[in-house]
Amino acid sequence: MFDIVKPMDIEKRSFEIITELLGDRKLAPENELVIKRVIHTTADFEYVDNLAFSPDAVAKGIEALKSGCHIVTDTSMAMSGINKTILGKLGGQAHCFIADPDVAEEAKARGITRSIVSMEKAAKLDKSCIFAVGNAPTALIALHDLMATGKVKPALIIGVPVGFVNVVESKELIMTDDVPYIVARGRKGGSNVAAAICNAMLYQITR
């Protein structure tokens, strides 16, 4: 038999189940809602241990969003998953430059990935930005290089690319930088995780 759950109650019940399944596992209060929303998105409880947070990362991200911070993603999928209604009410916008013709043209001419060029383009935005990377480790490496040369100062980096090549290394690299971060250590992650982390912060502002 299936439980008959009203649409508006499905998310609430899902979070109740997550809490029940966590049992006696204690989460840091400031990170709890982010961790639970990632689990809600992925049904993967390994994120309890995989997600790493710099000191006050979530609080800094929330304050940046309240101040009208923009969000830059490395994929259209991540951007589509972000609650842009809430973001817009706060004065922010979501950006993804990966499919821009000028980005594709420059990447081809230089023999590098579009993810690198899209981060370089984002660095030219005259706005405070949170960078949410869910797919391309080269985007994280580009951010590391841009920060080293003073070309960008992210309000927060969400580093959760998924895969096998340079994924682990790029995440560990970001964790050595002087920047607030939320990183999914190891190979797991994805655009859905990047969007979930953004939404977890946005919902704490409006709920």
The CATH number of the domain holding residue 59 is 3.40.50.10230
Residue 22 in domain: no
Confidence band of 9 (pLDDT split at 50, 70, 90): confident
Which range of residues forms the domain containing residue 78?
Answer: 49-206
Q: Residue 197 falls within a domain, yes or no?
A: yes
pLDDT at res. 33: 96
**152 lies in some domain:** yes
pLDDT above 70 for 3? no
Q: Is residue 192 a part of any domain in this protein?
A: yes
pLDDT of residue 1 exceeding 60, the answer is: no
- In Å, how far are 97, 137, 170, 173 from 141, measured between CA atoms? 17, 6, 6, 8
> Is 70 inside any structural domain?
yes
Cα 106 off chain centre by? 25
Q: Which of 63, 37, 70 is nearest to 51 (CA)?
A: 37
Please say if the pLDDT value at position 6 is more than 80.
Answer: no
Round to whole Å and give the CA distance between 190 and 168: 13
Q: What is the pLDDT of residues 71-111, one digit of tens each?
A: 999 999 999 999 999 999 999 999 999 999 999 999 999 99
Looking at residue 10, what is its pLDDT?
86
By the 10 Å C-beta count (0-12 exposed, 13-18 middle, 19+ buried), 7 is classed as exposed
In a domain, 80, yes or no: yes
Catalytic (active-site) positions: 40
Tokens found for residue 193:
């995780």
What is the C-alpha to C-alpha distance for residues 145 and 67, in angstroms, rounded to an integer? 26
If one counts the domains in the chain, the total is 1
Q: Does 84 fall in a domain?
A: yes
Its pTM stands at 0.94
Cα–Cα distance for residue pair 97/90, rounded to 1 Å: 22
Q: What is the mean pLDDT of the chain?
A: 95
Judge whether 44 lies within some domain: no
